[in-house]
Structure 1
């Protein structure tokens, strides 16, 4: 089991934070293009699911699997989007992504007067805490 990468987007599609750990294959496009592609895909999937779902569901889109990886998604009420890619055998990361938002993002970005909301996160403390948290998870392993 492993975590490949983590994206944090604001409600306007700006990638505020990106980190990768065990990603073996690169996308072959610029990082900005990758961010646009990821945000556009999430936007489209959410739209598709909300229109095509035969039942009303409160949690919305949480994850999807391909033959190579599993994408996990968590959206806050304010529109922040947390996306993690993992190996296929990883269970839902909903609680982990919620923890990253409430205990790490809120505490070290929102409450930090030096961090500008809506701008990419350049806080060394935030990056260090995220890295330590992810590496400390039981699902984190180098493949």
Structure 2
């Protein structure tokens, strides 16, 4: 199991935070271009899921899986979007994303009067705590292990 990267977007699609751990292949575009592409894809998938669902989806879109990776998605009631790309064998990612939101984003960003929710995250405390949390999680393993 391994974690590749994380994106955190605000409700308007602004990339608030990006970090990668075990990402082996780069996209060949700038981080801003890649973030816009990811957000646009999320917007389209969410719209498709909501329109095509035979029942009223409470959770809506949660993840998609390819032959190479899984994109895991969590959206807060305020519209903040968390995207965590993992390998296909990772489990418990939904809980991991909820913990990232409640224990790190809320504690170190939302409750911090110096952080503006519409601007990229600059908090070193958030960055180091999140990095340590991911690295100690059961999902985080490098390919060399």
Is 1:41 the counterpart of 2:37 in the alignment? no
- Quick one: structure 1 residues 91 and 24, their matched pair in 2 at CA, closer, same or farther if it must change by over 3 Å? same
State the match for 1:128 in structure 2: 128
1:17–1:120 contact (8 Å) kept in structure 2: yes
State the match for 1:138 in structure 2: 138
State the match for 2:4 in structure 1: 4
The secondary structure found in structure 2 opposite 1:67 is coil
Deviation at 1:92? 4.2
Instruction: Point out where structure 2 has 5 or more consecutive residues left out of the alignment.
Output: none
User: Hey, which bits of structure 1, 4+ residues long, moved more than 6 A?
Assistant: none
| Post-superposition CA distance 1:31-88 (Å, at most 9, x none) | 1000000000000000000001122221111111011100000000000000000001
State the match for 1:27 in structure 2: 27
State the match for 2:61 in structure 1: 61
The secondary structure found in structure 1 opposite 2:6 is strand
| Post-superposition CA distance 1:85-142 (Å, at most 9, x none) | 0001112411111111111101000111221111000111000000000001011000
State the match for 2:73 in structure 1: 73
The secondary structure found in structure 1 opposite 2:32 is helix
Q: Distance in 1 between matches of 2:102 and 2:91?
A: 20
Instruction: Point out where structure 1 has 5 or more consecutive residues left out of the alignment.
Output: none
- Count of aligned pairs: 143
State the match for 2:97 in structure 1: 97
Q: Distance in 2 between matches of 1:37 and 1:88?
A: 22
1:72–1:92 contact (8 Å) kept in structure 2: no
2:69–2:87 contact (8 Å) kept in structure 1: yes
